[in-house]
Structure 1
């Protein structure tokens, strides 16, 4: 019995004592891992919380589900419009919900934000200089942003899409595009931007869509001619100079409303005929000014068509002068011929009067006794006297013989 008891004691220590210690240790380790894992995956990174709290305050603390001005956990609590990846805020999308206020100065504190979409609101103020360098999609169109474009846009090297259209931005477009080689879509339309396109725009080798219409941008389009553009809208600006031929290959190219100069020189027109020296300079000639070289007007008329119109007016004027002069000369010739005929007619009348017996001498000569009184020749209505025929002469002679006898 003693031997059996001695042999049973070690067996009990092996079977009973070790298992409870190992199980307790395994369970404790498992509990520690399970408690630590949710904390590392769901708790929002503190710097992102600080950045979104500052943005919420700058916007005027609007009524947004979950949002607070201090603290909170946007990723765990699912704040409206907030997207996260692990513990980092990667997107804020709040379009068309009548947000006001401004953007504030805490945007640069976001550590991993990729998308910022606040379009079609009433956000005012200026675009802050401090922008998150991780941003790829930046949309602030349809707001009331003013001031100029910040030069810190040059730090957004990961930017692929940006729209700042329909705001009140002014000033020149800064030369900030040298490092933005991944930019695909750019929209600055419907603002008050001025000045020429910056040279660094020529480095946008991935740009396919560019909308800059409804501004006051001037200069030429040469900086855009080597870009892979598919959609280019530059309407209603102040662009001048000839359009680069390569841009005509852009599938959707809208360019109306710019005073472009013609790229083809107008052909020389024939010289106008010199006016006749006999013509009076005051008849039918209207002085006209030579057209000056100016950019095309919005309606599309070129200088060549203007020159052609002016020369046409001159040519018609010369024709009118010639016609009027010819009519005057014909009238003068007709007047001279009429005068000449009148003078000739008067001479013939005077000559014929000499052959007619004057009225004032008839009946004044003394008559002889016994002679019959000669009757006065009645006044003739015509200038020429009709000659007597042979029968009338014989009757007159017979009458005189009878009277004398």
Structure 2
């Protein structure tokens, strides 16, 4: 039998990141950058106000207080996006909105709450004046509090300077990274694309969810479960309906799907039964027995003229899911070009222990992991039994408990490796 590590190493040795392409920003979400992106223009590109208020000279309002407000002449309005800016001289102010450029001559911003808004009243009147008359400047404004130089001013380049590294190669593009790229003016980026993964299940007993079950039939859960897992891994996943136990039909289905696949994942038909159709149909695939539970039968090969990788997973739902996490997910992440392709593994205490584990096999049990205080190992509790058909238990697990090959069980309170699934 092959070990889990040997099979995974063989799979990954045949894969490399997909060739880079240029994608529009939103199409690049979830992809991995293949080049460093530098900032062409400072961000923000100009000094601007962080408050609604008045752009003034700090020296003019240094003595302002409630008892003796400073009266300034308002020379104009500056809205966000303004091009022509009024100059602010001694004894003058320009009304500014949040994000508006700081006009020449001004070196600070007095929030509207610190003024009368040009109404002759207090802060409440000032705020009403701003909300009711956002476009027109009052002739004069009373300032009731001083503002130091550069107060409430976002300096040019205070976010990131021109020429600085915005994002490095290898960065996975999530929403904040897409936002940064847009802010610095990039409309597209060069990335490894998300791999296209085609998922199909095999078995004449399978019926789509939503349809009535005839005697002896079951609903097809694997294709839905594995398609969702592929999407969670970052792939563009396509689910194909269940294929009956007929070698010619399976072969034709696989050939039909090759044109839209960077990776194919099948479930079922890989054991030693009379109707194990994947083994019969896919001659290019090497079928192996692995020293693991669940998931002993596995297959891997390169199929079609373009040598598309195919992972053949066992059919029991838990076996299929565990196999996906151990082999298919790292394959997808490798095709994406992600630096770390594996789920995180932590040490945890298993208070209940594990009564038995097959000697010579690495066992993966569903578990519920709970983190503890910093520096303390978490705890993990088995969920359900070891049966590879127990889908309900799998749905309540957030981790896999890894019992090593040399162990035949875990004593209560023993520490163990835990693969985190969330």
Structure showing greater relative contact order (alpha-carbon pairs closer than 8 Å, 6 or more residues apart): 2
Which has a greater percent of strand?
2
The TM-score bracket by the shorter chain reads under 0.3
**Structure with the higher fraction of residues in helix conformation:** 1
TM norm structure 1: 0.19
